[in-house]
Structure 1
């Protein structure tokens, strides 16, 4: 409770500020114990993050009738009641990120008809009550990353026609089905995801660092403009799996264990502006693979096993001719045969490729195998790091 006269004067002064003009306020932990914001109708933004708060008292926000932004991130909140936030009728942005919340009551957001941006990342949520967002028709951004979901139901957000961002990264969800009429950006990286189906229209998909061995099933793939599949064990893509992705502007296939790309893979991607195939084990490609990429501006192909003769051809007939932006290698000089414009490459002593001949004992081949093993090991470590991070955060909270 606020007991000292100094604290009472500080609170009174703050209220006078609220009455006089639109206000933004950052409070200390002790201030939240005062269960009223009487006369604070001009308060627009309130930041209570990183204050070790363990509870939100009932009716604490009465009087803050026009509060539009509330940040409660980085506290120690574990439970919220339906009355914790019920006075915030005008709230548009709410952050409860990085607390230890395990459950949310069904009516928590019921009075927030204008809520647009909701951040619940970094908690301990394993499920949400059905209908919890049914009255939040203006919700456009929701962040559920780094929780404990093992499944996600699109039905939770079936009434949100304006949803633009859904982030469920860092949850362990091996199979996922998304069903939205329109979604601008879906972020589901670092989920150990093995199968994804997307119904409806989605513009951008960030799926990096998962366990996908095939492209996601998207009946309306013609609407996808950005697709990040990096750090997935896709291997060599067979056939023409991108034939429906005709509107792609950005495609990331880096670190996908690819040794080659089918000649017709990019035939339909005439609007593609950025292509990343770095961090793979590619030796050479058909130059005609790139014939359809009329709009390409950025091409990343470093950290592969390029043959020097092919790399010279790729540079002269495609990269330099189209004046494409690219990144140089950082491979140590003693580990490569040569560089072509900063990209590492290896020569072959005869017509048969040492990189592709399984019977060869050439040191470059051995180096390639080691590099691939290191990349595979790194992917496993990154996925396990998420679990370790959660455990450390929980121990930190307890301490």
Structure 2
């Protein structure tokens, strides 16, 4: 042994004796929240944790924490609840060398400390959602080389740098939703070649730099919902070969052009869209609650299997036209609350695979029964909350809905506001517009004639009742005079 080694060891023991509190007190006394000045605060997790669940752990911003007297092996997961932890202790991964999953959500975490993830090579999933984090220091994740899932939603992040996620080469899932992020540098995701799921919803992004996802060729799901986009770079996702979900809902995009190779689901609801053009193959389109007055322009519409156009002011489609003629693979079509009064006879002529059709919450009075001739695969038909003629509704129920055993939904219209119900669907007997005439063949003509006769009888009865009331009033007045 060199001559100075023993002396250095004695000095270290003396300093350690000055810093560490005496061990004679109980463990609970050692975990007091306000240790004497200059001493290390000890948090004995054995007192707070049971089967990987830790409760009522309190760690302040200035605390230097000793979690345990010795490393705790074979602890694969830790979840903190009902705790206030201003910072992740530096010795967390020395104390739990085998830790794979760490959940510290709703724990008031304010900041990272260097070296935060030293020794965290076994960590696979880190959940830090709904805390108070304001920034991500450069290279802070060094040591967490195998991290695959990182959730930091619901924090106060505003600006991020190119090196914020440096070293996370194995990351597959990243959530930064519901923060305050305004800008993203072009190279921020460059190192994440295995990234599959990226959630940026609920931030303050107005634009994304071109090329920001060029190296994320495994990206499959991308959410940009609830940001501040007023325009969208159409070429931004053109190089993504595996993208299956794009959610851009909740932005203000009156005109939108998307260009990609293949997409399973595009979600662009609640955007005030007036015009939409989609280049590439897309299977499902959710466009509800927009301002569309015409169908989206989709050159490869033959691949669309689901189309939700509900809550758009589409109105009636021009007679003799068929805007759905290219959507031949449709299985689900939602036209609820589209300000529609009538549907053309050949409107669904090409939709032989349609399984679900929703025309509820419109003002439709009747249909041509022949409109269902091509809908051989229809299983679900929602048509409540319309202005149905009662006689036609009976015909529709008996000849189509019940006959084919098609599922439907009952109405919720209060009884005092309707004339009658047909199998739970509200309807009215009045027929005062020739444009509402039912043209479903001889049966529907007879039903319409019956409706007219019923209305005439009803009107005559009401007139007679009014006259009798008037006569009775006159008699009462004469009686009073006498």
Same fold (TM over 0.5): yes
Which residue does 2:382 correspond to in 1? 300
Indicate yes or no: 2:333 matched with 1:251: yes
Indicate yes or no: 2:207 matched with 1:137: no
Rounded to whole Å, the distance in 1 between the matches of 2:239 and 2:176 is 22
Which residue does 2:370 correspond to in 1? 288
1:6 to 51, 56, 65: 65
Indicate yes or no: 2:93 matched with 1:15: yes
> Structure 2 unaligned runs (5+)?
1-59, 69-87, 438-454, 456-482
Q: Is the 8 A contact 2:90 2:113 kept in 1?
A: no
Q: Taking structure 1 as reference, are residues 316 and 81 closer, same or farther at Cα in structure 2, changes over 3 Å only?
A: same
Cα displacement string for residues 31-58 of structure 1 (whole angstroms, at most 9, x for unaligned residues)? 7422221111111111111101111122
Structure of higher CA gyration radius: 2
Which residue does 1:61 correspond to in 2? 141
> Per the alignment, in what secondary structure is the counterpart of residue 276 of structure 2?
strand
Q: How does 1:317-356 map to 2 (within 5 A)?
A: 317-348=399-430, 352-353=432-433, 356=436
RMSD between superposed Cα atoms in Å = 2.0
> Per the alignment, in what secondary structure is the counterpart of residue 289 of structure 1?
helix
Q: Is the 8 A contact 1:2 1:33 kept in 2?
A: no
2:299 to 194, 216, 219: 219
Rounded to whole Å, the distance in 1 between the matches of 2:90 and 2:182 is 36
For residue 266 of structure 1, report the CA deviation from its aligned partner.
0.6
For residue 154 of structure 1, report the CA deviation from its aligned partner.
2.7
Deviates more, 1:51-60 or 1:116-125: 51-60
Q: Is the 8 A contact 2:282 2:303 kept in 1?
A: yes
For residue 24 of structure 1, report the CA deviation from its aligned partner.
3.7
Rounded to whole Å, the distance in 2 between the matches of 1:32 and 1:54 is 7
For residue 30 of structure 1, report the CA deviation from its aligned partner.
3.9
1:33 to 108, 112, 120: 112
Which residue does 2:227 correspond to in 1? 147
Indicate yes or no: 2:154 matched with 1:74: yes
Deviates more, 1:280-289 or 1:50-59: 50-59
Q: How does 1:145-294 map to 2 (within 5 A)?
A: 145-238=225-318, 239-294=321-376
Q: Give the TM-score of the pair, scaled to structure 1.
A: 0.85
> Structure 1 unaligned runs (5+)?
358-363, 365-399
Q: Is the 8 A contact 2:322 2:346 kept in 1?
A: yes
> Per the alignment, in what secondary structure is the counterpart of residue 158 of structure 1?
coil
Rounded to whole Å, the distance in 2 between the matches of 1:147 and 1:170 is 7
For residue 356 of structure 1, report the CA deviation from its aligned partner.
4.9
Aligned length: 356
Q: Is the 8 A contact 1:22 1:42 kept in 2?
A: yes
Q: Is the 8 A contact 2:109 2:132 kept in 1?
A: no
Q: How does 1:92-111 map to 2 (within 5 A)?
A: 92-111=172-191
For residue 13 of structure 1, report the CA deviation from its aligned partner.
6.3
Indicate yes or no: 2:184 matched with 1:121: no
Query: Structure with the greater relative contact order (CA < 8 A, sep ≥ 6): 1 or 2?
Result: 1
For residue 139 of structure 1, report the CA deviation from its aligned partner.
0.4
Q: Taking structure 1 as reference, are residues 21 and 54 closer, same or farther at Cα in structure 2, changes over 3 Å only?
A: closer
Cα displacement string for residues 47-94 of structure 1 (whole angstroms, at most 9, x for unaligned residues)? 111101111122221111011111110111110111111121111000
